[in-house]
Structure 1
Amino acid sequence: MKSLLNPKFSALSSKASPFPLFSLPSQPTPPFSFRSNSRRIPNRLLRLNPPPFSSNNFTCTNQNRSLQTEPSPPSSGEIHVIVGPMFAGKTTSLLRRIQLETANGRNVAVIKSSKDTRYGLDSIVTHDGAKLPCWALANLSSFKQKFGIDAYEKLDVIGIDEAQFFDDLYEFCRQAADDDGKTVIVSGLDGNYMRRSFGSVIDIIPLADSVTKLTATCEICKRPASFTLRKTQDKQIELIGGVDVYMPVCRQHYVSGQVAVEAARHVLQSHKLECGSYT
């Protein structure tokens, strides 16, 4: 059979072409071997598959991302309540605590009810004459706006004196401590002259971290006094006054004093009736 290839360019031709298509090595080619070359290619260059998926890496990345994007919650606040009868040193204890917080470098503000005008509106004053500047407010809910939002955010401690006069005491203390991380120190009467709860002071005791019950000195026997006796015949619950209206007494002299007050009241009423019958 006649070949279709040109013998001059046929790779099967026994005669070499003057311009060979393939350059043959001068030495015989070693047999093919599976042994690797002495110069190894680094494994990192041979790694064609991606590294295995790690759920741990993914979780940590998400956690780090969430820590960076979510704001940290405010520090936990506190509520401390100081109660007792009149002349027990409640305001003095509040002032002492506020001064201690100030000495520790904390930002403080003091509030009192605008109803208490005995010693002026711009200060809380003890019966011994010690003073501290304060905010006189009709209600506590207006404090944040009047004090200033930015200034309020920097506050650490809020003191409240004569707390029995604030109707919104519970909600203010709860929000200040629970939501805003403030330390709130409350001073006020726990009972009125009839030994019944006064205002909302008793209501915040379930919120409190600590409750301090102070006693005064009975004006009659000098024993510890836990109650306030009203000397006058007035019946209104909120009657702001000092030693001219109230006196601290023990249990024994509260009971006997109430009897004396009631007797005096009946005498006065009967005297008025008699005077009216002659007119």
Structure 2
Amino acid sequence: MATLDSDISRDVISHQEHRGSGAIHVIMGPMFSGKSTSLLRRIKSEISIGKSVAMVKSSKDTRYAKDSVVTHDGIGFPCWALPDLMSFPDIFGHDAYAKLDVIGIDEAQFFGDLYEFCCKVADDDGKTVIVAGLDGDYLRRSFGAVLDIIPIADSVTKLNARCEVCGQKAFFTLRKTCDTKTELIGGADVYMPVCRKHYVNNQALIKPSKEVLDSDKARRESCWRQLLL
């Protein structure tokens, strides 16, 4: 019994020592701004000083590989592809999770439990979590929970890309198609980084095009209904 009590005491003391000793670092920006590249650079830096790391990404993102974080330049790193974050300790294994020092999260905007997980990792488990994700969607609205974790972050880095129209700094993501789904996973075939000027100008062109397409679709559906009557 004494041995059991001492083991429990050691576990409690160890847990208390770890509480609040973690950190949260956020990397955000538009598409093609190098978020995944920056994340991988930081992860590899942690590995170089002997830290135990694991990488996680959303299972929704299968553009380049299912079980790797891959940059647009083709640089990859093995990862766990998950539908949510809170299941990670169970899937990874609790003993292995306890030994982790750093957790990297790519495409963080797709995780609805991002805030909850980051609090647990940094506040309760004393680990460092490095988050990379889009801060805004193609309409420049908050995307997912990335902006929600800024108040609890130790550092926030906002990256920029290069406007594909003029070459100036690009802080926004322009969708090339008329699809209105918030979550539309794609690459350069669907999105392009743009500056403020060319975001506004292109949105002015895309909106009328969408209205024409929606009108054509409505007419086609009306014709089919009439034919079926």
When the two structures are superposed, what TM-score results if normalisation uses the length of structure 2? 0.88
Query: Alpha-carbon deviation of 1:278?
Result: 7.7
Equivalent residue for 1:259? Answer: 204
Give CA deviations for 1:74-128 in whole Å, capped at 9, x if unaligned: 1610000000000000000000000000000000000000000111211000000
Q: Does 2:79 match 1:137? A: no
Q: Structure 2: where are the runs of 5+ without partners? A: 1-8, 225-229
Equivalent residue for 1:156? Answer: 101
Q: Does 2:26 match 1:81? A: yes
> What SS does the corresponding residue of 1:115 show, helix, strand or coil?
coil
Q: 1:259 to 1:154 in 2, by over 3 A?
A: same
- Amino acid of the residue matched to residue 159 of structure 2? L
Q: Does 2:176 match 1:234? A: no
Q: 1:268 to 1:94 in 2, by over 3 A?
A: same
Q: Structure 1: where are the runs of 5+ without partners? A: 1-66
Query: Alpha-carbon deviation of 1:269?
Result: 3.4
Q: Does 2:78 match 1:127? A: no
What aligned pairs does 1:43-192 form with structure 2 within 5 A after superposition? 71-72=13-14, 73-74=17-18, 76-192=21-137
Query: Alpha-carbon deviation of 1:268?
Result: 2.5
Q: In structure 2, how many angstroms separate the alpha carbons of the residues matched to 1:213 and 1:157?
A: 21
Q: 1:154 to 1:96 in 2, by over 3 A?
A: same
Provide the identity percentage: 64
Query: Alpha-carbon deviation of 1:271?
Result: 4.2
Q: In structure 1, how many angstroms separate the alpha carbons of the residues matched to 2:220 and 2:98?
A: 63
Q: In structure 1, how many angstroms separate the alpha carbons of the residues matched to 2:90 and 2:159?
A: 33
Q: 1:124 to 1:69 in 2, by over 3 A?
A: closer
- Amino acid of the residue matched to residue 49 of structure 2? N
Give CA deviations for 1:120-173 in whole Å, capped at 9, x if unaligned: 211000000000000000000110011111111110000000000000000100
- Amino acid of the residue matched to residue 91 of structure 1? S
Structure of larger gyration radius: 1
Q: In structure 2, how many angstroms separate the alpha carbons of the residues matched to 1:250 and 1:263?
A: 21
Query: Alpha-carbon deviation of 1:266?
Result: 2.3
Aligned residue pairs, count: 213
When the two structures are superposed, what TM-score results if normalisation uses the length of structure 1? 0.73
- Amino acid of the residue matched to residue 18 of structure 2? P
- Amino acid of the residue matched to residue 206 of structure 1? P
Q: In structure 2, how many angstroms separate the alpha carbons of the residues matched to 1:201 and 1:194?
A: 16
Equivalent residue for 2:5? Answer: none
Equivalent residue for 1:12? Answer: none
Q: In structure 1, how many angstroms separate the alpha carbons of the residues matched to 2:90 and 2:186?
A: 30
Q: 1:102 to 1:205 in 2, by over 3 A?
A: same
Q: In structure 2, how many angstroms separate the alpha carbons of the residues matched to 1:243 and 1:204?
A: 28
Equivalent residue for 2:188? Answer: 243
Equivalent residue for 1:221? Answer: 166
